[in-house]
Structure 1
Amino acid sequence: MRADATRLVAALGAIEMSLVRRDPVAGPLLAQAVRAADGVLPEVASLRAALQIVRTVDLGGDTSADRAARKVAQALCRQAAQAAQAAAMVGGTV
């Protein structure tokens, strides 16, 4: 379980950076992270919400709505990364 949580932390960091770079790979990476988080995190609703946001906005867009959506998705990924870090430290789900 600890190794799964550690891998999830790394994946979420990469996703957050892809959102900052406006990289379209953020969507597929986030979909993989949602699947990987099942069983590692107690709830994956925040990651599912981030995935929904990423799928509905233009990641390369420069409108205020696109920028705001990317920031919200980043914040949700960061929250999930913190939960995964906690799971990695205690060796199980938190």
Structure 2
Amino acid sequence: MDITVEELKQRIESGEEINLIDVREDYEYEADNIGGVLIPLGDLPHRLSEIDHLKEQEVLVHCRSGKRSETAQRFMQSQGFTNVRNVIGGILAYNELD
């Protein structure tokens, strides 16, 4: 099940601890980020061990527009992650909330 940018923003602003993974590239993250852990999509298969402890927890994945994070979501689910949610519209939609 996916998550809207409105719900994500509300959860961030309330101070809730969330597992947020940003699957964009380094240069995109440096230009603008919302505090997620940066694991570019291409690196994800080699870096799964870094987030292995989150397999049973809710994990939110986001990118620029929602396409790469959807790919990441499907991949992570295939690797045994049970609750991966894609941020619909990505950081573009998130930034439109302001």
> Is the shorter-chain TM-score for this pair beyond 0.5, marking a shared fold?
no
Return the TM-score normalized by structure 2.
0.31
**TM-score if structure 1 supplies the norm length?**
0.32
Larger helix proportion, structure 1 or 2?
1
Higher relative contact order (CA 8 A, sep 6+): 1
